[in-house]
Amino acid sequence: MDLTMEKTKDMVGQHRNLLRSYLKERVRIIGMSLSFVAIFAVVFKLYHLPARIAVYPALICAALWLLYAIMDFYQYDRSHRERTNLESHIEITLDNLPKPSCLIEEDYQDLLKILAEHNTKQVSEQNRKLSDMEEYITMWSHQMKTPITAMELLLQELHDPERSRLKEQVFEMERYVDTILQYMRLDTINSDLLLKEYPLMPIVKQAVKYYTKSFISKRISLDLEEFDTVVVTDEKWLLFVIKQILSNSLKYTAEGKITIRVVPEKTLVIEDTGIGISAEDIPRIFERGFTGYNGRMDKKSTGIGLYLSKQILDQLNHGIEVSSQPGVGTRVGIDLMNLTEV
């Protein structure tokens, strides 16, 4: 009942606004018509003509004027509805615009078409430049892997006290290049997904193995609880996300340990004893380019890792939650319960 009344009120309000708009646009014509009526009334008064002589012509004119007003308002309402309906399914082109009712409206449509054509050219040019840039960055990223691999081979033969630190820097270069490549592929992730059942433990162990040297060099202990969880996911993309979470944990944990376990309902938990995240930063950590207080202090954070992770997990139909306490540590929970399993 309340819903019906609300709809009725909305319809009455819409008709009232339409009538108000119509009268506002026709105010000059209405004013002119009333002026003519006043002129005829004054003339009849000055010549002392009987009022009955003007009654019948006045009634006929009033009837014709009322008929015209009704037809004009109907046409006005129909034009308004056509343009309102067009808003919900208008295309990029302006070919489907309603037929102009006057020369002025035709002029406006011509201006719109000129602006649309100019905008289309600009968008096409920007898309071309963006495509060229993406192609160049992708090519650059792949080419960078060659010198990185060469440096890794050279460092294996190098006997220098700084060898381990140099290898860490080469490792970071490789990680950043991989992140760039994944970022460039984000728009086409749907065509790259291979969703099926995977045992979770091997994926986690791959991520841990990737950062083995970082665990050792920073003397961070790992508490990996054994589990036999099976999840519906994409192995490659989920592995990338877990590596990103581990990277952040290692980056902001100076001492202590990182714990990895699975809690009920297939939630993978990665918890560290690092510096934590301030409460005001947590709501924004998944925004692109947001580095927060820790990132500004570190001066190396790009604000891309967690943004990428969130975008990927959304595509995989997984969730992610982060809780943290400054000076105590951070807990990241990846909900791997796919909706198709519920």
Taking only the tens place, the pLDDT of each residue in 55-88 is 777 788 888 888 988 898 888 888 888 777 776 6
CA distance 65 to 259: 84
| Residue 164 clears pLDDT 80, i.e. is over it | no
Evaluate if pTM is beyond 0.85.
no
What whole-number percentage of the chain has pLDDT above 70?
90
Q: Average pLDDT of 202-230?
A: 91
Q: Find, among 241, 329, 320, the residue nearest to 277 by Cα.
A: 329
Confidence of residue 115 (pLDDT cuts 50, 70, 90): confident
pLDDT number for residue 290? 79
Ordered domains of the chain (ranges, CATH): 128-184 (no CATH), 194-341 (3.30.565.10)
Confidence of residue 298 (pLDDT cuts 50, 70, 90): low
Least confident of 29-43, 161-175, 201-215: 161-175
pLDDT number for residue 335? 94
| Residue 325 clears pLDDT 80, i.e. is over it | yes
Confidence of residue 2 (pLDDT cuts 50, 70, 90): low
Number of other residues whose CB lies within 10 A of the CB of residue 264? 6
